[in-house]
Structure formats: C-alpha cells, structure tokens
Amino acid sequence: MVLPLLALAAAAFGIGTTEFVIMGLLPEVARDFSVSTPAAGMLISGYAIGVTIGAPILAIVTAKWPRKQALIGLMGLFILGNALCALAPSYAMLMVARVVTAFCHAAFFGIGSVVAADLVPRNKRAQAVAMMFTGLTVANIIGVPFGTALGHVAGWRAPFWAVVAIGLIAATALAVWLPKVATPQGGGILGEFRKIAETQTQLALLISTLASVSMFSVVTYIAYILRDVTGFTAAEESWVLLLFGAGITAGGLLGGKLADWRLMRGLAIIFCMIAVVLAVFSFTSHYKVPTLVTVFFWGMFAFAVVPAAQVRVIDKAQGAPNLAPTLNQGAFNLGNASGAWLGGAMLGAGYPLTNLPWLGAAVALIGFAVVMLSGALDRKRQQPAYQP
C-alpha cells in the first residue's frame, strides 16, 4: 500500500504548499496591492473560510462518488484555483481565487484520510493517516521555504504556477496508483448531520479548531516576527521556515504514534507542550539561535495534533463517514481563520508582535481543557450503571 499512500501524500504536498506559502510572501503581496498587513493576513483567513464553507458542500456533492474519482476531481479544482491565483489582477480577485482553491482542501483530506485508514490494519490507522499528512508536512520543509525563496526572486505569483505543476503530477499519481475504494455507506445526509451534532463529535471537532487557532494566531505573522523582532533577513527567513517544516514533519509522525498508543493522553500531552513552547517563544524570539530551537519544537508539537485529532473524529462519528472527516478539515481551517483574525486584532489594538505567542499558548491551554473533558465523558460512558 506504499504507492497509494505516496499518491495521497503527493496531493497533500501540493495543497499544503499553496496554503502556507503565502505566509512568507505577505509583505510582498501587501506592497503589490497596496493593502495593510491585517488585510494581507486575511488572504489566509479567506482560504480557511473557503475550506470551512466548502467542507459540507463538497461532502454532500461527493458522498455517492467513487472515492478515487472524487479525489481526482478535487485535484482538478485545486489546479484551477491555483492558476487563478497566479493570474489575479487585484487583491479582490486573489481573495476569490484563494477561496476557489480552498474548496477542494477539506474534502480531499477528509476523503483521503478515510481511504488511507482503510488501506491498513486497524491498529495502524493513525500512522497511515499521518503518512498521508506527511505530504503536508514535507510541503512545509520543501514547498513553503523554496516557494518563498522563489517568490522573493521571481515574484509572489511564481510559486502558484509551481503548485499548478505539482497538482498535475499528483492527479496523475492518483489515477495510476490509487486502487478503487468502495464508497462508504452512511445513514444518509440527515443521519450524518445528526451524528455530527452529538456532544463527543462536537468536542472532537473543537479540539481540531483550538489546535489550529493556537498555531495560526502566531504563524500567520511569522514573517513579521522573524524580520522585525528576531532580525532575520528575507533570505534567512526561508531557512527558518525550512526548520519549522522539519519540526512539523517530525510532529506528524509523533502524533500518529501517540494516537495509536493512547489517543486522548497523547493529545493532552501535546497541548501542554504547545503552551510551554509558545510561552518560551515570546522570550526567545529576540535572539536568532534560541528562535531556531523554539521554532523547531513549536512546529513539532503544533502538527502532532493533526493525525490524532483526525482519528478521534473518525472514531466518534462512525455513522457519518462522508461528512465527519471532511468537516474536521473545516474545523482546522475555521481555526486558521480565527487564529489569523485574533492575531491581527491583537496587532491592530497596538500590542507588540511578541504578545502573539502568549495568545497561542492561552488557546492551547483551552484545548487541553477540552481534551480532558472529552476523555472524562469517555470514562463516564464506560462505567457500568449503578445497581442499588
């Protein structure tokens, strides 16, 4: 099953690159379209909102499609959206193109994670999902830093053309390597929505959202922190992002192993470590070498949540096989939008960039509390009824 997982990872690489590469190029985009820093940051929020809105729509549209054809079709939408980003003549058109691109995001990762989990034995599900998400993490190691460097040399539009090429390669790999997978049978759309509305499913989705809010309240403005606080140049920034991506890759693998070991305990540990590392970053961000160390560990713990949270949602919403995994990606990206907005609001209120890590740490602690609550509800349900 290595080749099918590699095909899924290749597509995830392209999606991850187009989502995150804009972060390192926000100053250039803002300058080109003569918009403010918070307005440029909304390009990230716009993408995240597109994922959130597109998640239920495409989950319903593709519910009866064969999984292989659905994934290839979603990559076609991805290719179109990135071509529109590269051609956008104005800020408004770039925002529209980002939303179009984002529509395929949640559905692809939702369907892809279920397909990946079905390709392996049950006790290896989280690691299979983590392998698919490795494409997303490698995007942060290779795609984002090199895309950022390409944008600095050839203009911010060039990385989007590169992603179009990646999308074509990924779609070809899916067509050649991915086997035919049976379409999962749920209880109908209304039945799936009822399952989604259950308390434990909502808490699982909230865990994903809070993890993403914590990360994106800081990482959205990482280019400004690295340049204006730490003192890195634009060229050096690309190498710092490379290190951040290495941490993310390690975190994806760590999260998969923790989820297959003790899912909820692993999530609790991860959220605690995110809070600690971000609190430390508020101090180390003034110094180059300590920043490098902190950024690596931050990336590692921040992304360790992803495969664990995805498996948690799949487990708690087994009656909603089409909608739940896709909505979880919407939950992550709702967190992306909220985090970017919260960070921008803090900066707009006059707070310094060094306060952003404290914001991310506070949200991580809320995530820890939700994990503990959800775990307590699990234990309560497992206890036998009292017999007088």
* pLDDT on residue 210: 94
- What burial class does residue 381 get, using C-beta atoms within 10 Å of its C-beta: 0-12 exposed, 13-18 middle, 19+ buried? exposed
* pLDDT on residue 166: 92
Shortest CA distance to 308 belongs to which of 273, 350, 354?
273
Q: What is the pLDDT of residues 228-261, one digit of tens each?
A: 899 888 778 878 878 887 888 888 778 878 777 7
Q: Is the dihedral of CA 156, 157, 161, 164 positive or negative?
A: positive
* pLDDT on residue 118: 76
* pLDDT on residue 321: 65
Higher pLDDT, 187 or 337: 337
Mean pLDDT throughout 259-288? 91
Shortest CA distance to 10 belongs to which of 125, 120, 149, 165?
165
Give dist(CA 207, CA 309) in Å, integer: 7
* pLDDT on residue 168: 94
Mean pLDDT throughout 187-191? 66
Mean pLDDT throughout 5-34? 86
H runs (alpha helix) in 155-198: 158-177, 188-196
Q: What is the pLDDT of residues 36-82, one digit of tens each?
A: 877 887 888 788 778 778 777 777 777 778 888 889 989 998 999 99
Distance of CA 99 to the CA centre of its chain: 15
Q: In percent, how much of the chain has pLDDT > 90?
A: 27
Angle at 260 between CA 256 and CA 262, to 5 degrees: 110
**184 φ, ψ (degrees, to nearest 5):** -65, 145
Phi-psi region of 231 (alpha: psi -120 to 50; beta: other; left: phi over 0): left
Residue type, 387: Q
Which CATH number describes the domain made up of 2-382? 1.20.1250.20
Q: Enter the DSSP assignment of 388.
A: -
- Reading the block at residue 234, the tokens are 């634009």
Cβ-contact 320, 192 below 8 angstroms: yes
